A and B are shown apart, each in its own frame.
Chain A
Amino acid sequence: MAASLTVNRSQATTETRWVRYALTGLALAFITLFLIVPLIAVFAEALRQGWGLFLAAFTDPDALSAIRLTLITAAIAVPLNLVFGVAAAWTISRFQFRGRSVLTTLIDLPFAVSPVVAGLIYVLLFGAQGWFGPWLAEHDIKIIFAIPGIVLATVFVTFPFIARELIPLMEAQGSDEEQAALVLGASGWQTFWRVTLPNIKWGLLYGVILANARAMGEFGAVSVVSGHIRGMTNTIPLHVEILYNEYNFVGAFACASLLALLALVTLAVKSFIEWRSEKLAEEDRRHATEE
């Protein structure tokens, strides 16, 4: 009886069969054309002339340098944004203050602004003709066309990922548990390490993965500040562009496949985290209903 009722209800609220198939088919065709075909093409092009040349692309000193720089940039930008993201999310979700909504909006700025503009901002500030340019030149500090500029630009574009992930999570969880910890005699640090952090760890990891993917893949902002000096200031995306412009398709696609692989790993880890946190929540629910 109950089963037939639910069947009736779901039929009552759903579309006819051919509408469902048409919509599903359209979505699948779209995904195939725009996502799956290009992804296959990247690996196909990279491997077109065999494994030998594919692997040779990575032993090239310029490619190695690009990979190293990309890793260094991510290794600096991601931890910086980790600290900033947690601090910002904490501030916004735990305190009521004037300018709170302005701060929330400002955090989104890097998403709203074109990455090229983000790069230009730093050139205007730290470039030879920029505001701080003469002072930096005097003290022999290089920011633009050097690693610090690349790191700065990357920090800028990956700024929102972790904070955006944490703010809604922390607002939903509320501060009751933290207050409880304080009343029980815990210090601010103890409360953070023992109560706050364990509660946000999955959301935090999720934000870190997304920020990392963007940090390694960023092109526009980094392109403006890097100066494209081979073996010095090229990251993987910039290296791909240079190889492509030189008609070195195998090399370009080989390096591109590295980034594509990174994307696939990111998605896999992301799905794993989602699956895991859903499973944990479900287990809790099941236990609760057994009572």
Chain B
Amino acid sequence: MSIDIRNISKRFGNFVALDNINLDIASGELLALLGPSGCGKTTLLRIIAGLETADAGQILFHGEDTTDKHVSERQVGFVFQHYALFRHMTVFENVAFGLRVRPKETRPSETEIKRKVHELLELVQLDWLADRHPAQLSGGQRQRIALARALAVEPKVLLLDEPFGALDTKVRKELRRWLRRLHDEVHLTSIFVTHDQEEALEVADRVVVLNKGHIEQVGTPEEVYDTPASPFVYQFLGDVNLFHSRVHAGWAEVGKGRIAAPEAPDAPAVIYVRPHEIDLSRVASGDALHGEISHIRILGATIRLEVDVEGHDGVEVELSRERYQDGGWQVGETVFLTPRTVQVYSNPQ
């Protein structure tokens, strides 16, 4: 089912949580709402679910206005960050809940409920836990049960609020791959909220980057990562070095070197460079930035060097382990930096 979000605004007192949000979500899409905490992503998700009401605007499900529809009639599946499993019920009863509360006319028979619940528990690969209580499960298991419970009512939309936020890194990686596979199997229109850019880029078909209540950019993971629409998106999607300078005739001077900015107008500018897109050399080339290595940090497979460039201390350069060992870099050495790709934003506020 497609979802159209039209002019949605929401305030909490003086705080503007959402400012005139417009967004179309295609049927069967897996969409990520990405942003820092307080950007309004969870509020938007809760408004779509009907757990929160917007001050203005409409949410259309398959072209139909849902503004007056109660949460319980919207046929959405919602997965909470902290699982919200019914603690006094077994796993089986948790999953069966949505079927048992139906009015008599539409409620499935007991054998039908049993079949359905076990089918869902098999789908999330936890059939063997049917008789346990939520407190007896690990975090990853709880979240998968919560997902099975949400799917039991055959929702038309699946909404996930930071579904893996409370889990440790390893379980998180497993679960997001699993979620992607599950989505490819059931093809349910799904929206998930996250503050983890890696998670959004890995799992989603499309990513919506939110900041301070408005949308910064909507696009596929490649689009938002390769061509960020604003400095905020660039910064939010990965580590970044900032060079404050002034563009003159297609060049921005930084210390004794300069960075090419062929398309930028002559104006003050901020130049963004990702740490892994900088080449390091001991030989001075014409434009390279001059610097001195101040720290070397070994982070497993990658090595991060901090280089003090004139006017810009602590420029981060990331190297693979091999390139680091081939170069034999030492703290205190003078080095020359050449950015491979840069993003120039003119006239920063």
Question: Which residues in A have some Cβ–Cβ distance to B below 8 Å?
Answer: 176-177, 179-187, 190, 194-195, 198-199, 284-285, 287-288, 290-291
Residue of A nearest to B152 (CB): A184
Contact A190 B51 (CB under 8 A): no
Bound state CA distance, A195 and B136, in angstroms? Answer: 19
Bound state CA distance, A287 and B73, in angstroms? Answer: 37
Contact A185 B101 (CB under 8 A): yes
Interface size on B, residues (CB 8 A): 35
Knowing A176-B82, A190-B101, A194-B101 touch, does A182 contact B136 (C-beta < 8 A)?
A: no
Contact A187 B72 (CB under 8 A): yes
A-B pair count, CB < 8 Å, reads: 83
Does residue B104 face the partner (Cβ distance < 8 Å to A)? no
Does residue B206 face the partner (Cβ distance < 8 Å to A)? no
Knowing A183-B77, A184-B149 touch, does A285 contact B82 (C-beta < 8 A)?
A: no
| A residues near B76, Cβ cutoff 8 Å | 183
Contact A183 B132 (CB under 8 A): no
Bound state CA distance, A284 and B136, in angstroms? Answer: 6
Residue of A nearest to B49 (CB): A183
State the main secondary structure of chain B at its contact with A.
loop
Contact A185 B84 (CB under 8 A): no
| A residues near B50, Cβ cutoff 8 Å | 183
Knowing A287-B135, A288-B135, A291-B138 touch, does A179 contact B84 (C-beta < 8 A)?
A: yes
Knowing A179-B51, A291-B137, A291-B138 touch, does A184 contact B101 (C-beta < 8 A)?
A: yes
Residue of A nearest to B146 (CB): A180
What is the CB-to-nearest-CB distance from B288 to chain A, in angstroms, rounded to a whole number?
55
Contact B136 A287 (CB under 8 A): yes
Contact B84 A182 (CB under 8 A): no
| A residues near B80, Cβ cutoff 8 Å | 176, 179-180
Contact A288 B136 (CB under 8 A): yes
What is the CB-to-nearest-CB distance from B193 to chain A, in angstroms, rounded to a whole number?
15
Contact B86 A284 (CB under 8 A): no
| A residues near B85, Cβ cutoff 8 Å | 177, 180
| A residues near B170, Cβ cutoff 8 Å | none
Contact B132 A185 (CB under 8 A): no
Contact A180 B72 (CB under 8 A): no
Give the most central of B78, B133, B136, B141: most A CB within 10 Å: B136
Knowing A177-B86, A180-B80, A183-B51 touch, does A288 contact B72 (C-beta < 8 A)?
A: no
Does residue B97 face the partner (Cβ distance < 8 Å to A)? yes
| A residues near B149, Cβ cutoff 8 Å | 180, 184
Contact B101 A177 (CB under 8 A): no
Knowing A180-B86, A182-B71, A183-B78 touch, does A194 contact B133 (C-beta < 8 A)?
A: no
Contact A181 B97 (CB under 8 A): yes
Contact B102 A185 (CB under 8 A): yes
Bound state CA distance, A182 and B50, in angstroms? Answer: 10
Contact A185 B135 (CB under 8 A): no
Knowing A176-B80, A177-B86 touch, does A183 contact B136 (C-beta < 8 A)?
A: no
Knowing A287-B135, A291-B137 touch, does A176 contact B84 (C-beta < 8 A)?
A: yes
Q: Contacting B153 at CB < 8 Å: which of A179, A184, A187?
A: A184
